Amino acid sequence: MRGRRTPLRRVWSALFNGYGLLFLAFLYLPLGLIVVYSFNANPINMAVWTGFTLDWYATIFRGASVEGNFDAAFTESPERIFAVVRNSFAVALLAAGLSTVIGTATALALARFRFVGRRFYQALLLLPMLVPDIVLGIALLIFFVGAGIELGLLTIVIGHVTFLSSYVFVVVSARLAGMDTTLEQASADLGAGPITTFRRITLPQIMPGVVGGFLLAFIISLDDVVITYFIAGVGSQTLPLFVLAMMRRGLRPQITALAVLILLFSFAVASIGLFLRSRKP
Amino acid sequence: MKGDTVRTRQRNTLLLLLAPVTLILAAFFMVPLGIVVVYSFLEPGLYGGVEWTWYPFNYGRILGWPLNDYEEFDPIYLLIFLNSLKFALLTVLFSLLICYPAAFWVSRMRAGRKGLVLFLITLPFFTSFLIRIYAWLLLLRPTGFINTTLQTAGLIAEPLDMLFSGFAVVLGMVYIFTPFMFLPIYANVEKLDHSLIRASQDLGANPVQTFLRVILPLTAPGIAAGSVIVFIPALGNFIVPSFLGGSKVQMTGNVIERSFLQSRDWPFGAALALLVMASVVLVLMVHAVRSGRSRDRVVA
């Protein structure tokens, strides 16, 4: 702290800290509420605590075999949940993998080459992140239907790759910008070919950016609602679309338990990603 | 000769690196957006689909020149659009008011704690968007946490009608987009040159003057960037209003969704989507021009 610790300054500082804690509470209390509710045995009103239960989690994994707290009309079978989770993971892995290759290649091209149209590409790559989701969603819907491509997991993967490549591009470009190029030059001077130089020198240095970009793309794909909503076929529901459909039918404790599991998973993946990105090049 | 082969090889490498992104963005981004533009000028077919005839009345239905003798102009779509603009602007305003002081709070921390708090503020960005809305449904609904708590405490007799209102929609969007607003402002506040603030104080400015004349202009780029990236997803949103606004509060996103998935009037939906898109482009252009100008000023 600079300056004298006058009483006024101390009051100001306390106010600031109080405000900051309120800010964090605003961000986290709603999520904390979901966690508490997911253990509440009350099947009618989650806001009234009637006792601790793990039944809602059990209905996700074991379905109807849980006695008592089972509400068949609102509970999805474990097989159904497993199927949509598998769909989501397949889409997210494939979309994130492809976007990582495309985004990284583009970042390398724009960072290591000077060419006509470089600024055009820089602007173009920002666009998919700036176009509102709903516009991209309906554009892809019209396009796929018009081109006669059947809506399904493949169209979801393609749709995700169009905007996820930009996210990976931004993350990897940031890594490349902070990188020292003398090692690459030394490698080239010593006679290594471009592929060897890339594999032995460039790739290891940008690896945290590449992995961070992959994880970011993975988590965004896993969570995407709007674009997926328009381009998913009848038989290709993903986890967010499944949760959306459940929420439309009414708020039930089973959604709450599922929500907690999703939160835990995305917290874990995001923590790894943010940790990797925070490491300096 | 050798120079030539090196150059050829370099060019091939560049082409190889750029080919996938060019292909993907041309085929699945530029072309689809182009088709949306075309569709918005086509006549809707009787049973979904389109007739390939010039038909400017999709825009007419929204902006006020309906096809004569056939349709009546209903200002509802324009009103819903203006309402969406209002909600998006309110979302920007409130998330700015919340995030601005928080950015200063974080910037004054020592390194270790700062890292942790930044992590905590960024984390919700990576968690499910739907689940964060779900949390607010649990909080706001008549039998939700807030009403139950207030009733148990005896502060209110009847549950407050908070859900399905403009208030709930804006609150939900502020909650969802807080990290979008916080990060650009924080990046700006963190770079703030504190010697300028001290100079202002030494020269006798009171705290209000220092804030208005020094701190605010210096953090304006962060405010502008945060506002733009909150405004864009807020304007076209349809998930938040469909859950927290119910049938009472509509945004243009809801109308677009319905015209694609329920009434199957794709050209009309495309016209509405382009109206949203045009607003976004306008905001981006104003932002680009203004931030370019302020950069010139700094250089001069």
DSSP code string of A149-201: PPPSHHHHHHHHHHHHHHHHHHHHHHHHHTS--HHHHHHHHTT--HHHHIIII
Q: What is the CA radius of gyration of chain A?
A: 24
What is the value of ipTM here, to two decimals? 0.89
A139 contact residues in B (CB cutoff 8 A): 29, 32-33, 35-36, 273
B14 contact residues in A (CB cutoff 8 A): 109, 113, 115
- Tell me the one-letter amino acid at A108: L
Closest residue by Cα to residue B86 from B266, B249, B239? B249
Tell me which residues of chain A, numbers 30 to 89, contact chain B at a CB-CB cutoff of 8 Å. Answer: 30-31, 33-34, 37, 45-48
Cβ distance of A251 and B115 shorter than 8 Å: no
d(CA B239, CA B133): 9
Q: What is the pLDDT of residue A281?
A: 47
B285 contact residues in A (CB cutoff 8 A): none
Query: What is residue B43's three-state secondary structure?
Result: strand
Backbone φ, ψ for residue B102 (5° rounding):
-60, -35
B16 contact residues in A (CB cutoff 8 A): 105
Cβ distance of B277 and A136 shorter than 8 Å: no
Give the residue from A85, A101, A138, A144 with the most B CB atoms within 10 Å of its CB, the best one to mutate. A138
Neighbours of A48 (CB within 10 A): 11
| Continuous segment of H or E residues that includes residue B44 | strand B42-44
Give the residue from B22, B127, B250, B266 with the most A CB atoms within 10 Å of its CB, the best one to mutate. B127
Asked if A271 has any chain B CB less than 8 Å from its own CB, the reply is yes
d(CA A236, CA A244): 14
d(CA A57, CA A196): 50
Alpha helices in A40-117 (DSSP H): 55-62, 78-112
B143 contact residues in A (CB cutoff 8 A): 45, 47
Give the residue from A142, A260, A276 with the most B CB atoms within 10 Å of its CB, the best one to mutate. A142
d(CA A31, CA A177): 36
Cβ distance of B32 and A47 shorter than 8 Å: no
Of the CA atoms within 13 Å of residue B171, those in its CB half-sphere come to 19
What are the counts of helices (DSSP H) followed by strands (DSSP E) for chain A? Answer: 12, 0
Closest residue by Cα to residue A121 from B8, B34, B292, B25? B25
Cβ distance of B121 and A27 shorter than 8 Å: yes
Mean pLDDT in consecutive groups of 10 residues from the start of chain A, 281 residues:
67 90 95 91 80 85 58 70 93 97 95 89 92 95 92 95 96 87 84 83 88 92 94 89 89 87 90 72 47
B259 contact residues in A (CB cutoff 8 A): none
Give the residue from A134, A199, A230 with the most B CB atoms within 10 Å of its CB, the best one to mutate. A134
d(CA B256, CA B246): 16
Task: Identify the residue whose tokens are 């598998």.
Answer: A86
Closest residue by Cα to residue B57 from B44, B38, B75, B76? B44
Backbone φ, ψ for residue B50 (5° rounding):
-135, 155
Tokens read off for A82: 């497993």
Of the CA atoms within 13 Å of residue A181, those in its CB half-sphere come to 7
d(CA B55, CA B45): 11
- Chain A nearest C-alpha distance from B119 (Å): 8
Tokens read off for B293: 């100008």
Handedness of CA A164, A165, A168, A170 (dihedral sign): negative
Between helix B76-107 and helix B252-261 the angle, nearest 10°, is 120
d(CA A99, CA A160): 8
d(CA A11, CA A242): 49
Residue of A nearest to B15 (CA): A109
Closest residue by Cα to residue B276 from B248, B234, B239, B229? B234
Which residue among B31, B36, B147 sits closest to A138, beta carbon to beta carbon? B36
Per-residue burial over B94-117, b if 16 or more Cβ lie within 10 Å, else e, is bbbebbbbbbbbbbeeeeeeeeeb
Closest residue by Cα to residue A139 from A123, A155, A116? A155
Tokens read off for B73: 């102009």
Neighbours of A105 (CB within 10 A): 20
d(CA B99, CA B180): 10
Q: What is the pLDDT of residue A1?
A: 42
d(CA B107, CA B134): 31
Which residue among B101, B132, B276 sits closest to A132, beta carbon to beta carbon? B276
Cβ distance of A34 and B141 shorter than 8 Å: no
Cβ distance of B128 and A130 shorter than 8 Å: no
Tokens read off for B81: 């659009």
Mean pLDDT in consecutive groups of 10 residues from the start of chain B, 300 residues:
72 91 95 95 82 85 72 82 96 96 92 89 88 92 87 86 91 95 93 85 85 89 94 94 90 93 90 95 91 64
Which residue among B104, B138, B256 sits closest to A251, beta carbon to beta carbon? B138
Query: Residue A57: CB partners within 8 Å, gap ≥ 6?
Result: A38, A257, A261
d(CA B78, CA B38): 21
d(CA B29, CA A139): 8
Q: What is the pLDDT of residue A45?
A: 77
| Continuous segment of H or E residues that includes residue B53 | strand B50-54
Query: Residue B65: CB partners within 8 Å, gap ≥ 6?
Result: B56, B57, B59, B73
- Chain B nearest C-alpha distance from A88 (Å): 13
A115 sits in the region (left: phi over 0; alpha: psi -120 to 50; else beta) called beta
Handedness of CA B277, B278, B283, B285 (dihedral sign): positive
Q: Say if residues A140 and A227 touch (Cβ distance below 8 Å).
A: yes
